[in-house]
């Protein structure tokens, strides 16, 4: 199965950040475990916008995000037999997506091919730029230019954080996960998540002083 980057981009701009399904349907999980093609297509349809959006924010690279989204769902299909329902499907998929992103980052780093990605990159064939996906769009027209400057500065500051802080901030403050869900997605304990979020926010405040 392959994912078209433009289709994913359109889905991100059209779909809400909240997952379509918030509870785990045991019958649906059993179908996934049985490698039911319809169930897997449903999983992709419901959660690929969320996963792609998360990966866009973590990588700032729409092509990379599309590739990692595909890897995430293929990995999910392989490991669905181990899913026990201790977290929601969205949180579980986020954990896989973060692991895929970390593995890709290490792969690039080993080959000394780290890339600087333009903050002005657009998502799919829309006019929405990556940094705009974390901005507050409920602003008056006269504040639009200033808000764009602030959003660009925020995204740049977010990208400058250590990966562990960036992951925690994106999950909590952008994706809206609870501390417990963040801990599940990051596969760590609650205290560590709270510490990363606190330190990440503190670093963002320092870097954004004056805005």
**Residue 13 host element (H or E):** helix 5-14
Tens of pLDDT, residues 156-188: 888 889 999 999 999 998 899 999 999 999 999
Percentage of the chain surpassing pLDDT 90?
39
Q: What is the mean pLDDT of the chain?
A: 77
* pLDDT at residue 127, as a whole number: 60
pTM of the model: 0.67
Tens of pLDDT, residues 50-65: 999 999 989 888 889 9
Residue 1 C-alpha from the chain's centroid: 20
More confident residue, 152 or 115: 152
CA separation for the pair 153, 29 (Å, rounded)? 41
> Contact 161/192 with Cβ under 8 angstroms?
no
Phi, psi of 208 (to 5 degrees): -100, 15
Q: Map tokens 């595909």 to a residue.
A: 70
* pLDDT at residue 21, as a whole number: 41
> Contact 182/173 with Cβ under 8 angstroms?
no
Tens of pLDDT, residues 66-114: 999 999 999 998 998 888 777 888 999 999 999 999 988 765 555 555 4
Sequence-separated (6 or more) residues with CB below 8 Å from residue 40:
32, 73, 77
**CATH 3.40.50.800, applies to 5-207:** no
> Contact 151/134 with Cβ under 8 angstroms?
yes
């Amino acid at each position: 199965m392959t994912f078209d980057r433009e289709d994913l981009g359109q889905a991100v701009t059209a779909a809400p950040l909240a997952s379509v399904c918030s509870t785990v349907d045991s019958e649906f999980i059993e179908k996934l475990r049985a490698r039911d093609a319809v169930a897997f297509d449903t999983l992709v349809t419901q959660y690929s916008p969320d996963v792609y959006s998360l990966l866009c924010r973590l990588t700032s690279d729409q092509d990379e995000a599309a590739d990692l989204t595909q890897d995430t769902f293929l990995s999910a299909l392989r490991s669905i037999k181990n899913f026990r329902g201790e977290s929601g499907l969205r949180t579980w998929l986020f954990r896989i997506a973060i692991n895929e992103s970390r593995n890709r980052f290490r792969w690039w780093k080993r080959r000394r091919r780290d890339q600087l990605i333009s903050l002005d990159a657009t998502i799919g064939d829309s006019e929405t730029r990556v940094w705009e996906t974390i901005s507050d769009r409920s602003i008056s027209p006269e504040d639009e230019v200033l808000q764009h400057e602030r959003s660009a500065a925020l995204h740049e500051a977010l990208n400058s954080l250590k990966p562990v802080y960036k992951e925690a901030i994106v999950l909590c403050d952008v994706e809206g996960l609870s501390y417990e869900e963040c801990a599940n997605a990051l596969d760590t304990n609650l205290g560590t998540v709270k510490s990363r979020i606190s330190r990440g926010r503190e670093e963002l405040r320092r870097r954004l002083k004056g805005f």
